[in-house]
Amino acid sequence: MIAYLSNLPPAPTIDDRTYFPFLFSMLLGACAAFACWQAAWLRGRPWGQGLACLVAGLFVVGQIPGAWSALNNARAGGGSLSYSWQDSQLVSAVRALPRTTPVISNRTDVLLYWADRPAYDFISELQPGFVRDANALYGSDPTDRAQVAFREKEAALVIFGNDIPQELENVFYEPGRLRASTIFQGLVAGGRYPDGNLYFYPK
């Protein structure tokens, strides 16, 4: 926390999440100290156990408002917990896929939470050599686990939004940005929706 506060310009926002490691460390220290006190002075006194539970309970209660506020903000925003995903046509399409169909996506968190479908991560599984090859068909790289599943197991490629150029650039820099315009070429569109697209490997 000290490194975080002293090395990141501009000055970071100080909130409950920033203080949590410090508060949690204090709680653990207090519990350790109480264990020593109990062994030394509170042995055989039943109210000592109750005092420990009271201290822990006060700490938990004190964290509830911050946790509840963070959850409500996540529900109202565009994160993976947002209620807006309940109306996502792309998420509904993934739910309708057979359970035996593997899934690849750039939003694995959304699919796991709202469609109950674990998925390969589209970006992290990509290999630099494949990204630099502008003519390579997605599914042709044998070193990419997601592409192997896409080609051999008829996995579904689920792409949310229009941020793929930026997501590729964030990981692969300029080659990633350039590759974004061709990376889906040659694939079969399984569905186009307001919030994204569904692709399959050509047969």
CA–CA separation, 137 vs 29, rounded Å? 56
**Structural domain spans, the chain:** 2-76, 83-200
167: helix, strand or coil = helix
pLDDT at 196: 94
pLDDT at 65: 74
CA–CA separation, 179 vs 181, rounded Å? 5
* pLDDT under 70: residue ranges of the chain: 1-19, 37-52, 66-78
CA–CA separation, 103 vs 196, rounded Å? 14
190: helix, strand or coil = strand
96, two tokens: 């309708």
